[in-house]
Structure 1
Amino acid sequence: MGTHVCRKQIVRWMWRWSVCPVAVSRGYMPFCSTQQKPHQANPSPISQVTHRPGNQLTLCSLLKMGFSETQAKEMHEGATKSRGKHVHSVLTALLLLGLNPSSILKIMQKCPEVYSLKGADLQQRIDHLRKMGLVEGSLQRMISRYPKVMLLPVKRVNMVSRLLREKCLFTIHQATDILRDSPEVLEQDLSKLEYKFQYAYFRMGVRQPEMVKAKLFRLSLSELRCRHCFLEQRGLYQTPDKKGQTLILNPPLKDILCVSEETYLVQVAMADADEFHVFRKLMAREQEEEGREDEYSSDEELEEDKDDDEDDDGLHRRKRHWNTGYKKDRK
């Protein structure tokens, strides 16, 4: 019995002092161990980083997480460059989420800022997305496709979700589908996001379910306008009337947006690429002129506000309010 216990103690002692060899360009070098050798002279920079106090990420720990030797070295190099102090907890949270090492490495390559996250902050954001209805599978696809979502504070996610539900009148389920399929909306300007919805709703006569199905918010507003107006000019699209009726059969929104430009031209617009490119340039020039006009109008309004502030009787301010319809005098 005593011999058996003695053998177990010896095995534990040998394991404690064992090293994990990882292939490098010149033979094998012990990159990580549970304790440093007492007489090690001039340790390599990688060894210093591996055993730096507060940094728990080692090549051995990466291998134990399931990363291959190549993946572990690349991950360790990225963590070293970012100087992240909580990389181990971040990787643990991503593994617990169900992402495999290959997917995690791709996420880190797309968005190196994730290295600098705190594990507790990441877990809080993941839990919040779950509460919003992003269940397992959807959440993993969302993070893999758009890793920046892990950097956004909870407040920003709530603002976008509230705009989709209250201003654009999407249901809770539809808003969740938009965040899952088009997470880029979380970083877009809220006013531009709302305007894109209004363009599709009022100008094109498209309703919310069709917008979600066509992944409307993946496409930029300029590309949306260009494809829609090109069809309209060719007599292939018509804005519905108040009753939602048209004289022609409009193509579904998904056939306009969810296809490549080549497929769009051949199957929907039935036009050649040169014609569409000329039209795109004209649209871009028109939008540029509209932008200059808006900027000029804004400057005029600022000048009017300045004059109004200097005017004691407020006559110009009242006149401007009457013209715009805002802040009318009460009866």
Structure 2
Amino acid sequence: MDKLIQCALRRHLCSKCNSQIKFSTFVNKTSNVILQPYVHKDLFLRKFSLALKVKANITSKLYSTDSYVTTVEHQLVNEFELNHQQAENLLKRWPELNDISAEEFKIRRDYLMHLGLKVGQIKQVLTNSPNLFLTHQLPLEKRVNYLLVEIGYTRAALVHLFLSAPAVFNETTEEVYQKHYYVHVDMGQRQGWFTDPDTLGLLQHNLQHLTERHLFLSRRGQYIAADRHGNTKIINPTLKEMFCTNINEFCDKIAKCEEAEFQLFRKMVKIELKIKEDFSNDSSTEVDDDEQNSENDFANNLLKHL
């Protein structure tokens, strides 16, 4: 008897509508049970009353504005496939996510899916770079259009960029352009290097990181830019090896030097770049006809800082 009543209750409680269960309907559905003589009417009424309370409890949770359904944590679990522990840890690290409305989360998720990201990839973007969901939608769309139209990214490469270097979408177009220009022109990487998923991770770092490692290898003769035909005199390390490794691995396996040597070079590069910036600003305001004197002045300024 209890199993039959539970089955009847389950059929009614699985409904997501807000209407109440009618007693007549409840009796009709279980008429084969209620006609049995040993089923007491009071017992049946108590079970029906309990069913109504359970129904009301479920309905209040489904439609309450302060319910579990409307919390950010529940949305992360249902729509982004995070488990409760992952969602809780994410909200602890980024409490700002609690200020995002459910509609804004849905807009950002739908936009990423429109660009070609799958649910699992969106989950990876959310956990690795949640600040991407804190940016406004319009600047993100402008950055995406800039990469697609101005630089020439494909949709597939753009998906890999979201996974490998999501920090790019929080940078200005000038910063993005400078990094691409440096790799393309100063390093001589004129092939479509940004179509390689393993290489795109270098864009996660700032321009100073790229400059320090490239100049260090270049001045040691361990990196030589390719000519116009794409040929090099030596086998250069890959861009991933140069920029996407930690400092210990970079010094031990790539540069084959002591870490202290590279740290000293980094300090010298910072001074050098600062002097070049100041010198270029002075040269733009004052015209110097003697180029040799200009070079000497630059060398003297460099020696003073060293």
* Common topology (TM > 0.5): yes
**Aligned partners of 1:238 and 1:4: how far apart in 2?**
89
Partner of 2:95: 112
**Aligned partners of 1:159 and 1:295: how far apart in 2?**
31
Residue from 148, 153, 156 that aligns with 1:173:
156
Aligned residue pairs total 239
Cα distance, 1:239 vs structure 2: 0.9
Partner of 1:79: none
Cα distance, 1:218 vs structure 2: 1.3
Point out where structure 2 has 5 or more consecutive residues left out of the alignment.
1-33, 35-40, 287-306
Change beyond 3 A, Cα 1:239–1:108: same
Q: After the TM superposition, which residues 239-258 of structure 1 pair with which residues of structure 2 at under 5 Å, given as runs?
A: 239-258=225-244
Q: After the TM superposition, which residues 1-331 of structure 1 pair with which residues of structure 2 at under 5 Å, given as runs?
A: 1=34, 2-3=41-42, 5-12=44-51, 56-57=66-67, 61=68, 88-96=70-78, 97-206=80-189, 207-209=191-193, 212-214=197-199, 215-293=201-279, 300=285
Cα distance, 1:208 vs structure 2: 3.1
The structure with more helix, counted as a fraction of residues: 2
Report 1 or 2 for greater relative contact order, CA contacts < 8 Å, sequence distance ≥ 6: 2
Amino acid of the residue matched to residue 245 of structure 1? N
Amino-acid identity (%): 22
Change beyond 3 A, Cα 1:290–1:110: farther
Larger radius of gyration: 2
**Aligned partners of 1:4 and 1:294: how far apart in 2?**
92
Point out where structure 1 has 5 or more consecutive residues left out of the alignment.
19-33, 35-53, 66-87, 302-331
- Structure 1 runs, 4 residues or longer, greater than 6 Å off: none
TM-score by length of 1: 0.65
Change beyond 3 A, Cα 1:239–1:100: same
Change beyond 3 A, Cα 1:164–1:99: same
Determine helix, strand or coil for the equivalent of 2:119: coil
Which digits, 9 at most, give the CA deviation of each residue in 1:161-203, with x for residues without a partner? 1222222222121122102221111111210111101111111
Amino acid of the residue matched to residue 76 of structure 2? L
Determine helix, strand or coil for the equivalent of 2:224: coil
**Aligned partners of 2:144 and 2:192: how far apart in 1?**
15
CA RMSD between the two structures: 2.7
Which digits, 9 at most, give the CA deviation of each residue in 1:304-329, with x for residues without a partner? xxxxxxxxxxxxxxxxxxxxxxxxxx
